[in-house]
Structure 1
Amino acid sequence: MIFEYSESQRRWIDRVQAFMDAEVIPAIPTFIAQDHAGDRFKAVPIVDELKAKARAAGLWNLFMPPHSGHQHVDDTFEWEGQSLTNLEYAPLAEIMGRVPFAGEVFNCSAPDTGNMEVLMRYGTREQKDRWLKPLMEGTMRSAFLMTEPAVASSDARNIETSIVRDGDEYVINGTKWWSSSVGHPRCEIYILMGKSNPDERSYNQQSMILVPADTPGVTIKRLLPVFGYDHGSHGGHGEVVLENVRVPASNMLLGEGRGFEIAQGRLGPGRIHHAMRVIGVAETALEKMCRRLQTRTAFGSLISKQSVWEQRIAEARIDIEMARLLCLKAAYMMDVAGNKSARAEIAMIKVGAPRIALKIIDDAIQAHGGAGVCDDFGLGELWANTRMLRIADGPDEVHCRQLARMELAKYAEVA
């Protein structure tokens, strides 16, 4: 592998970093003030201003991959974004990850990114015109409804929300939760996974279907905080009840029984995008730790000169570098060999990156003392957001189980 960034990558890195330095980072105090004022869940004005600037600068929809063989029905690519590869996008996502709201500024925030990829890869022209276009223009938000409170959703075959054909419509009944962004005032479309073919073999029972948020029978029961944080500007995470919800049959994605096929196409990139961003989170935590340690004196010397902190700083740098290299390897393999061939690397970085970041954030909290556990330095929210990633898009245990089985298979003949 070549470890040097290409000339094209370097140009993109410089452009995104320059925009972050000139526009996004100076806007952090304004964002905090606006986020804490008014309604709990809202579109934050400064984010809208920054989105307009980013789009005008051509820093928009950077996550959208090059053309693939998965496009469905038509060959139109007018909303394709910059068509960066995973390897090209990785360092850009890391830069965005250093500021919690930066992803939305570049129209690169979850769950919209995954939903846009689903619509691009598997949507009909009609579905793209109605939903993909405004999502890629940044005028609308979306949600992904998969997890359910009544079952262990780590095994998606357990999902019980029913999708039943009735003439030219489907009728949907069930309860979803941890549905990100449903509280955002611009969230207009849900991609829902449910059971449409209960008599088929397990992986052919599930389907994905488009559900407009204002469809009769859709109720947001509550918004779920993460360790007390609302994620209000993001739109929060909701529990959504669907009672006899009727949508046109044309809202089905790809076809009945193909939900797992779509899920694999969606979740692979989503998992590595999380990993890319969380490396930026780890860098932020390490920076905060180093700055704090060099401004505090205890027992006659700077705390940064105490050997225990030298050890923690060194380990943090080692861990970040290892995580970044594994993330880039996974991205490279996805580009050259496909998501399926990279599934081990995707699983490893999905597990490894949040664990590494959590350790560094925890050390940063410790370095700040009492200041670390209040909101003054944002470390509590960083920890909460990152801790959630050990569950989101499949818990660590599922990915480790997959990795163990792949490893054991290498020695099956010997056994």
Structure 2
Amino acid sequence: MDFGFDKRTEELREALLDFMDGHVRPAEAVFDEQLAQLDDRWAWDSVPVLGELRAEARRRGLWNLFLPGEEGAGLTNLQYAALAEISGRSIRLAPAAMNCAAPDTGNMEVLSLVGTEEQKTQWLEPLLSAEIRSSFAMTEPAVASSDATNIETAIVRDGDDYVLNGRKWWITGAMNPNAKIFIVMGKTDPTADRHRQQSMILVERDTPGLTIHRGMTVLGYDDHDHGGHAELSFDDVRVPASNLLGGEGDGFAVAQARLGPGRIHHCMRAIGLAERAIELMCARADERIAFGKPLAEQGVIRDWIAESRVRIEQLRLLVLKTAWLMDTVGNKGAHTEIQAIKIATPATVEWILDKAIQTHGAGGLSQDFPLAQMIAGIRTLRFADGPDEVHKNALARTELRRQAAARAGR
């Protein structure tokens, strides 16, 4: 069994580590300062230092690494997983600097997968060059959106147009005025099979009838440093029929195709974030004195540090195995492992962040360290791309079937 990375991955890792140490980490404080000076606090991607980082990332070949094929960097899931982890160590800045930040990544994948040539020219190309941003509008306040078949937003054909009516919330990035295009999921045929009722369609930001009502907060954070999360409504929003992504009834399948790679991206970045938390925890433990000796010499702190290392190493192996399976047997063949990492990653990283916060004392709860914002973001992952309970239920069902089949075959 070979646990090493291939030559190209090692070369990209080396380039990315150098980029992180020499450019991204030193720019974090500058980014915050410049963001605070903006007239529109939601327009985070207009911060000058981000433009400088993007130019440097492109110069180094660290651009659109998430996207396979000719439109992106052509990396496998396993190759990109190693890079996504590194970017997660500066999760607010590094993915955006390399044009590898959600929700644009998933939207670009959808456009690449099912977009027409006209749609790719109009929307995918400017997204690939980071000229614009985008949002993915699926979750709704009136229904349990963990079951995507519940989605109620209506997409009704009317001649050469579709007309949309409905309400969405938690639409990431939508507060940013540069989010020029929305991929909207709704129902085109409520009478069809429950997995063939949904469709996806492109809606431009300035389309009449589309109203952005407010930004949502996550445990008190408005996340303006990556465009916030908006509640918005569609009231007789009319768009050309040519804006449909794929065919009518393809929305659920496209959503699942979008979420598979997104889950692996989130998980690898979260591992990088956990590594940053361990780094901060160890530094704090070394420098802080309590009851006559450094925290690093206190048994309970050492237990936390050791347990954090064990847990993150276990998680990394599971995530890399999942990436390898996605490359070798496809997303469907790796479905169980994808569910497993979606369950395990937020819980594991949340535990590590909790111990890092505790090691920092009251400072860990404050704005003086990034840990409080980190744990708010990781807690969100227990809902994003499907809540823990949905994945556990499906994983258990699969395991029960597998075990029953094994007993029957004896």
Q: Same fold (TM over 0.5)?
A: yes
Please name the residue that 1:24 is paired with.
24
Q: Do the aligned residues in 1 keep the contact of 2:154 with 2:164 (CA within 8 Å)?
A: yes
Please name the residue that 1:82 is paired with.
73
- Alpha-carbon shift at residue 56 of structure 1 (Å): 2.1
Partner Cα distance (1:233, 1:312) in 2: 30
* 1:256-284 alpha-carbon deviations (Å, 9 max, x no partner): 00101101110000111000100011101
Please name the residue that 1:378 is paired with.
370
Partner Cα distance (1:142, 1:273) in 2: 18
Please identify, of 196-205 and 405-414, the stretch whose mean Cα deviation from structure 2 is larger: 405-414
Name the amino acid aligned to 1:64: L
Q: Are residue 180 (structure 1) and residue 172 (structure 2) matched?
A: yes
Q: Mind listing any 5+ residue stretches in structure 2 that lack a counterpart?
A: none
Q: Do the aligned residues in 2 keep the contact of 1:184 with 1:233 (CA within 8 Å)?
A: no
SS of corresponding position for 2:195: helix
Name the amino acid aligned to 2:76: T
- Using the size of structure 1 for normalisation, the TM-score is 0.96
Partner Cα distance (1:134, 1:56) in 2: 18
Partner Cα distance (2:274, 2:318) in 1: 15
Please name the residue that 2:42 is paired with.
41
Please identify, of 51-60 and 265-274, the stretch whose mean Cα deviation from structure 2 is larger: 51-60
Q: How does 1:9-408 map to 2 (within 5 A)?
A: 9-38=9-38, 39-42=40-43, 43-66=46-69, 77=70, 80-99=71-90, 100-408=92-400
- Alpha-carbon shift at residue 233 of structure 1 (Å): 2.6
Partner Cα distance (2:23, 2:402) in 1: 50
SS of corresponding position for 2:354: helix
Q: Do the aligned residues in 2 keep the contact of 1:44 with 1:233 (CA within 8 Å)?
A: no
Partner Cα distance (2:58, 2:29) in 1: 22
- Using the size of structure 2 for normalisation, the TM-score is 0.97
Partner Cα distance (1:405, 1:36) in 2: 48
- Alpha-carbon shift at residue 350 of structure 1 (Å): 1.0
SS of corresponding position for 1:22: helix
> How many equivalent pairs are there?
403
Partner Cα distance (1:357, 1:157) in 2: 30
Provide runs of 4+ in structure 1 moved above 3 Å: none
Partner Cα distance (1:8, 1:41) in 2: 37
- Alpha-carbon shift at residue 395 of structure 1 (Å): 0.3
- Alpha-carbon shift at residue 45 of structure 1 (Å): 1.9
- Alpha-carbon shift at residue 369 of structure 1 (Å): 0.5
* 1:289-308 alpha-carbon deviations (Å, 9 max, x no partner): 00000001111211111111
SS of corresponding position for 1:250: helix
Please name the residue that 1:74 is paired with.
none
Partner Cα distance (2:204, 2:271) in 1: 34
- Alpha-carbon shift at residue 116 of structure 1 (Å): 0.3
Partner Cα distance (1:374, 1:87) in 2: 36
* 1:33-76 alpha-carbon deviations (Å, 9 max, x no partner): 1122333211322112211221122110000013xxxxxxxxxx
Q: Do the aligned residues in 2 keep the contact of 1:285 with 1:361 (CA within 8 Å)?
A: yes
C-alpha RMSD over aligned residues: 1.0
Name the amino acid aligned to 1:26: P
Q: Do the aligned residues in 2 keep the contact of 1:103 with 1:109 (CA within 8 Å)?
A: yes
Q: Do the aligned residues in 1 keep the contact of 2:173 with 2:226 (CA within 8 Å)?
A: yes
Partner Cα distance (2:149, 2:253) in 1: 13
Identity of aligned residues (%): 54
SS of corresponding position for 1:242: strand
Q: Mind listing any 5+ residue stretches in structure 1 that lack a counterpart?
A: 67-76
SS of corresponding position for 2:226: coil
By percentage of residues, which structure has more helix?
2
Q: Do the aligned residues in 1 keep the contact of 2:15 with 2:60 (CA within 8 Å)?
A: no
Q: Are residue 410 (structure 1) and residue 402 (structure 2) matched?
A: yes
* 1:376-405 alpha-carbon deviations (Å, 9 max, x no partner): 011110010111011001000111111100
